[in-house]
Amino acid sequence: MSEFVPLLVFGAGKMGGAMLNGALRAGWPAKLISVIDPNPSDALRDQAKKEGFTLNPAPGAKAGLVLLAIKPQMLDSAAVALAAHVDSATVLVSVMAGKSIADMKSRLRALTKIVRAMPNTPAAIGRGITGAYIAGAISPSEKALVAMLLQTTGRLEWVETEDLIDSVTAVSGSGPAYVFHLVETLAKAGEEVGLPADLAMRLARATIEGAGELLFQDAATPPATLRQNVTSPGGTTAAALEHLMAADGLQPLMTKAVKAARARAKALAG
């Protein structure tokens, strides 16, 4: 186990809050944790009192690790306050979408160690997946602490180039919305074949929930095998898959969608 360092959670909204709770659950000592949030909720104030972490500390003390979890558009206005808590020894972990390592370095010049991470919304229930890229020379123990922090919301994959963060964004960052839309399209198709709308939605939703849970619980089995296991030759599933898996079926559409998301991520990062 790596030695815990002072952790500053900068922005304790959905993602920062989930990782704060995860760090506390994982045993990060509360006395080493500070949280900066300009308008803390009553719940956050109560939690700080109960658990013993510091809320909105005075500038001065440098953090060993900073989790930067504000909205990307807040970076400019927050940079001065943040600069007071970092130095060249600080590891900054940013989960901000669309803000590059260069964006952060240009605003926080003292920084030499930056991790750019892209989580996704199932992080809120501990079932997210995060892709992360390391810029700068971070030690194995610092990397282990960063991994521990990011894994409090689910799984973690390291990528070798910053460029790949845009691809991670396009696949897993935005991916939950694609799956939610799949539920909508399956329900709509159910209506087209005569089901009442509410029943079609319940069937579609439970199907995606259950299939997702099967994938989760049967992690060793490739999705293609799970698909083949429920597809008898000449049966009903095969009839549908003939369309979904056609040359102009779901694959080219998904590839087009993911490429559009990646292009947008690149454009937003500037």
- Per CB under 6 A, residues contacting ligand NAP are 10-16, 36-39, 69-72, 74, 77-78, 95-97, 118-121, 123, 173
Q: Given the complex with ligand NAP, which of 15 and 92 has the nearer CB atom?
A: 15
Q: Given the complex with ligand NAP, which of 6 and 119 has the nearer CB atom?
A: 119
The Cα–Cα gap between 19 and 51 comes to 15
Work out how close the CB of 215 gets to ligand NAP at its nearest, in angstroms, rounded to a whole number.
20
- Which amino acid type is present at position 135? A
Q: Given the complex with ligand NAP, which of 65 and 187 has the nearer CB atom?
A: 65
Work out how close the CB of 239 gets to ligand NAP at its nearest, in angstroms, rounded to a whole number.
37
Work out how close the CB of 18 gets to ligand NAP at its nearest, in angstroms, rounded to a whole number.
8
Q: Given the complex with ligand NAP, which of 74 and 138 has the nearer CB atom?
A: 74
Work out how close the CB of 74 gets to ligand NAP at its nearest, in angstroms, rounded to a whole number.
4
CA distances from 212 to 31, 80, 217, 267 (A): 38, 43, 9, 31
The Cα–Cα gap between 186 and 205 comes to 9
CB 166 within 8 A of CB 265: yes
Q: Given the complex with ligand NAP, which of 85 and 190 has the nearer CB atom?
A: 85
Work out how close the CB of 52 gets to ligand NAP at its nearest, in angstroms, rounded to a whole number.
20
Provide the Cα torsion 118, 140, 101, 157; round to 10°.
-20
Q: The tokens of 108 are what?
A: 């926080």
CB 90 within 8 A of CB 111: yes
Which strands sit side by side in the sheet containing 113-118, from one edge to the other? 54-55, 33-36, 7-10, 65-68, 91-94, 113-118, 128-135, 154-158
The Cα–Cα gap between 13 and 179 comes to 24
Work out how close the CB of 69 gets to ligand NAP at its nearest, in angstroms, rounded to a whole number.
5
Residues 6+ apart with CB under 8 A from 75: 96, 99, 103, 104, 107
Q: Given the complex with ligand NAP, which of 117 and 200 has the nearer CB atom?
A: 117
**Which DSSP state fits 203?**
H
CB 95 within 8 A of CB 119: yes
Q: The tokens of 105 are what?
A: 């370095």
Pairing of strands 7-10, 113-118: unpaired
Nearest residue by C-beta to ligand NAP? 13
Q: Given the complex with ligand NAP, which of 74 and 257 has the nearer CB atom?
A: 74
Work out how close the CB of 130 gets to ligand NAP at its nearest, in angstroms, rounded to a whole number.
8
